[in-house]
Structure 1
Amino acid sequence: MDSTTHAANATNVSAIEHVPYHMRPETYIVPVVFGFIFLLGIIGNGTLIFIVLKNKCMRNVPNIYIVSLSLGDFLLILISVPFTSTIYTVRNWPFGEVVCKLNEFLQDMSVGVSVFTLTALSADRYTAIVDPMKKHMGNPTRRTVMTSFAIWIVAICLGVPDAAISYVLFTGLHPDDANGVNVCYPYPLDWQTWYPKLHTFWKFLIYFLIPMVIISTYYSLMAKNLMLSTQNMPGEKAEKGSGAQHAAKQMEARKKVAKMVLMFVVLFVICWAPRHLFNMWFHFSPWSREQFNSGWQAFRIIGFCMSFINSCLNPVALYCLSKQFRKYYNRYLFCWCRRSPDLQTTEPNSAMYNFTSTVRRGSANSYTMVTSQTAAV
C-alpha cells in the first residue's frame, strides 16, 4: 500500500532526490526501525496466536477476532517487512516484479484485515453491551469464525488489483540522472494522473475514514448505553448488599472490554493517520511537488514507519491491559518468571476472562446477571 512512497521516489519532486543515499539519515534509521518491528511483531503476534490455539479456555469470540488480526500482522511482518525496509535504504528495487506484486498485495491485505476486524470487534462489543441476549442467539463462535473468514476474503479481493497492476518501473529520479533506477510502482504510466488520485482517495475511504466513522458510531452508542445503565442499574442506590456490589463489578467489566477494543482502534488511528494525510496532500494539493521539502520528507518516512509499527503494537497493548494474556506471555516468553497458579486452574469461562456482559431477565423487580464467555483483562 506504499503507492505514494513509490510515486514520490519515481518523480522529480524536489532537490532532496539529489542527496546521495549514504548521506541520508533514513538510510540507516529505517532498517533499524524495521528490524525492531520484525522482532517484536514476530514474537508478539506469534506468541498471541500460539496462546489462543494451545489453550482451549482462550478460544472465545473476541479472541477469534484478535487471532485473525494478529495473523494478518504476522504475515505482513514475516514476508513484507524484510523487503519493504529497503525502500529508503537502497537506490534500486532489487527483488524483481514478483516480490513487488507480493509486497503490495500483502500490505493491502493486512491493513484490510486489521481495520475490518476492528470494525467487527466494535460491533461485537456494542451487541454485548447494548443487546447481550442477541449476542448469544444461535452459535456465536461459528458466526465469529464465518465473519473472520469473510473479512479475509474481502481483504484479499481488495489487495488483488494492486498486485495485478504493480510492476518494476525503470525511471530517472531527476533529469540529470543518466542511469535511472528501478522502483516498484503501482500506477500504469498511461493512466496519467487520474488513477493515482482515485487510488489514494479510495484507500483513504475504505481503509480509514468509513471504518472509523462506523467504529465511532458504535462507541458513541456504547458510551450512551453505559451512562444510562450506570444510572438505572438495579441495586445501585443501595448503600450495602451483594447485589449492588455484583452490579458494580459487572459494569466495570463491561467498561474494560470497551476500553481494550478502543485502545486497538486508537493505536490504529495514530499509526495510520500520518500516512493517509501525506498521501492525500501529495496527490491532491496542486503545490505538493513544489512544496515538497525535507520536512515533508521526514513526515512521509515517519508515516511510512508508523503504519508498519501498528502491526506489532496489539500484542503489547494486550500484555498491558489483559491480566490473563499477560500471565500466558510471562509463561511462554519469560520462563524465569514464577508460574502463576491461575494458569494451572483456569475456569471454563475465563477466556480473555473478565470480559463479561450482563443479561437482564425476569420481572421488573428481579434481574439475573449472567456472565457470558467473552474475554479477559
Structure 2
Amino acid sequence: ELRHIVLIACYIPLIMVAAAANILVIVVVFKFHYMRSVTNYFLVNLSIADLLVTLICMPMSIGQAVSGLWLYGEAMCKLTSYLQGVSVGASVFTITAMSIDRYIAIRHSLTFRKIFNRKSTICVIICLWIISLTIFAPVLWVRQTALVELGDDPLLSAAVERYGLAFCIEDWPSRFKYVYGILCFVVVYFTPGCVVIFAYTLMGRRLWVIQSPFDTEERTARTQQARIVRERRRVARLLLVLAVLFAMCWLPYNLLALLLDLELSLQTIGIPHDSLMKAYPFTLLLGHANSAINPLLYCFMTRNFRRAVRNMMCQQGLPRSRPRQRIKTKSATSTSGYASYHSPHRRCYVLTNLPRRTTGTRTLPISYL
C-alpha cells in the first residue's frame, strides 16, 4: 500500500540521520573538555535516549507497520515497547531537569554553583533513568505475542506455528489498562510540560524583563554581565525550542495512545477505530523524528558545538606527513590565552585549551553555559 511505501521512505533517511547526529553529539562532548558543562551532560543523556529509539525501536516499527505482524519473537516484543517507553520517559525527564537546572542557574546562581556540578548531574541523570525504568516496568509484564488465527485448517495452523506469524499485543487485566494509560499521560507528558512552561516563564521574566542589579557606572562589570546574560538567553532559547519541538512531535502519539487505551472511537468522538489504527504508525513516526531533530538543533543553535565539530573535522583532515605550524596571537591590550594550529592548505584552527579574556589585571574565563 502507498502508506507503507511512505513509511519506509521516511524511516530509512530518518534512521541514518538520527544515528549519525546523536553519535556525533556524544563524541564531541566527551572529546573536547570545554564542552563538558552541566547542560551538555544533559544533552548527551538526551542523545543516548534518542540513540536507543533510533537503533532499536525505529527498525522494528517499520516491519510491524508494513506487515501488521510481529516477526521478532516475544522477547523483542516486550523489550522494544519497554525501551521505547523508557527512552521517551528519560527524554521527557531530561528536558524537565534541564529547565529546572537553567532556572536555578539564572534565578539563584550562588545556590546553583554549590549544588550543581558534574558528579551531582550524573547522579540526577541516573535517577531519571531509574524513574523511567520503574514507570514502564508493567509493559514487560503485559506485552506478549499472540499467534494469528487462520481458521481450523491444520495446514494453516502448522504454517502459523512454523513461521511465527504473530501479533505483539498488550494483555491487561480488568481496568488496569485505563488507569495506566492515564497515569503515563499525566506523569510522562502533562506534568513535565507544566513544569517546563513554569520554569521558562520565570526565566523569561528574569532574562528579558528585569534589569540586572550591576552598577551602571562600572563599565567592566556592565560588559561582563551583558555577555553572561546573552549567553544565558541563548542557552535558554535553545532548551525552550527543544521542549516545544518535543511536545509537538509526541503530542499526537500520546493523545492517540490515550484514546486507544480508553477505547474511545466512533461512538464517543466520531472517529472510526480503523482510522485511529491507520494513523497510529504515522504519529509514532513523528515522535521518532524528534530523535533526529534534537542533535540537529544543537548544531544549528549552539556556537560552541559548531566550533567543536569544525575542530574535530579539521584534526581528522590535517595531513600527517606535513608538520603543523604553531601560531600564538598576542596584543598590547589583551591575550588570546590559547594557541592555534594553522594549516595553510586547509585553514583549520584548532583550540588547544579554554579561551580566556584579560581585562585590566583580572583574567575572566569565557563562560560556557
Q: Place the TM-score, normalised by the shorter chain, in its bin.
A: 0.7 to 0.9
One-letter amino acid matched to 1:136? R
Q: Does 1:199 align with 2:180?
A: yes
Q: Kindly, what percent of the aligned residue pairs are identical?
A: 22
RMSD of the TM alignment (CA)? 3.1
Q: Which moved more, 1:74-83 or 1:93-102?
A: 74-83
* Paired position in structure 2 for 1:267: 245
Q: Secondary structure at the match of 2:194?
A: helix
- Residue correspondences, number: 325
Show CA shifts across 1:215-274 (max 9, x none): 1111111112224433x44356x7x94544433322222111110111110111111011
User: Structure 2: 5+ residue runs without aligned partners?
Assistant: 319-345
Q: Does 1:86 align with 2:93?
A: no
Residues 1-377 of structure 1: pairs in structure 2 closer than 5 A: 24-138=1-115, 140-171=117-148, 182-188=166-172, 191-192=173-174, 194-230=175-211, 232-235=212-215, 241-284=219-262, 286-288=264-266, 291-292=271-272, 296=276, 299-332=279-312, 340-341=348-349, 343-347=350-354, 374-375=368-369
C-alpha distance in structure 1 between counterparts of 2:294 and 2:282, whole Å = 19
CA contact (8 A) 2:266 2:273 kept: no
Show CA shifts across 1:124-164 (max 9, x none): 10011101111111561111111011111112222322122
Alignment TM-score, normalising by the size of structure 1 = 0.77
* Paired position in structure 1 for 2:331: none
Q: Secondary structure at the match of 2:133?
A: helix
Alignment TM-score, normalising by the size of structure 2 = 0.78
CA contact (8 A) 1:61 1:374 kept: no
Q: Secondary structure at the match of 1:89?
A: helix
The Cα shift of 1:199 comes to 2.6
The Cα shift of 1:297 comes to 5.1
The Cα shift of 1:327 comes to 2.4
Q: Which moved more, 1:137-146 or 1:126-135?
A: 137-146
CA contact (8 A) 1:116 1:211 kept: yes
CA contact (8 A) 2:356 2:363 kept: no
One-letter amino acid matched to 1:314? N
Larger Cα-atom Rg: 2
One-letter amino acid matched to 1:255? R
Q: Secondary structure at the match of 1:221?
A: helix
The Cα shift of 1:94 comes to 0.7
The Cα shift of 1:120 comes to 0.6
CA contact (8 A) 1:31 1:86 kept: no
C-alpha distance in structure 1 between counterparts of 2:302 and 2:228, whole Å = 16
C-alpha distance in structure 2 between counterparts of 1:203 and 1:219, whole Å = 23
One-letter amino acid matched to 1:246? Q
C-alpha distance in structure 1 between counterparts of 2:298 and 2:317, whole Å = 21
User: Structure 1: 5+ residue runs without aligned partners?
Assistant: 1-23, 351-367
Q: Secondary structure at the match of 2:68?
A: coil
One-letter amino acid matched to 2:251? A
Q: Which has the higher strand share?
A: 2
CA contact (8 A) 2:69 2:166 kept: yes
Q: For the structure 1 residues 299 and 151, does the alpha-carbon distance in structure 2 shift closer, same or farther, using more than 3 Å as the test?
A: same
The Cα shift of 1:201 comes to 1.2
CA contact (8 A) 1:282 1:288 kept: no
Structure ranking higher on relative contact order (CA contacts 8 Å, 6+ apart) = 1
The Cα shift of 1:328 comes to 2.7
CA contact (8 A) 1:275 1:303 kept: yes
C-alpha distance in structure 2 between counterparts of 1:201 and 1:172, whole Å = 31
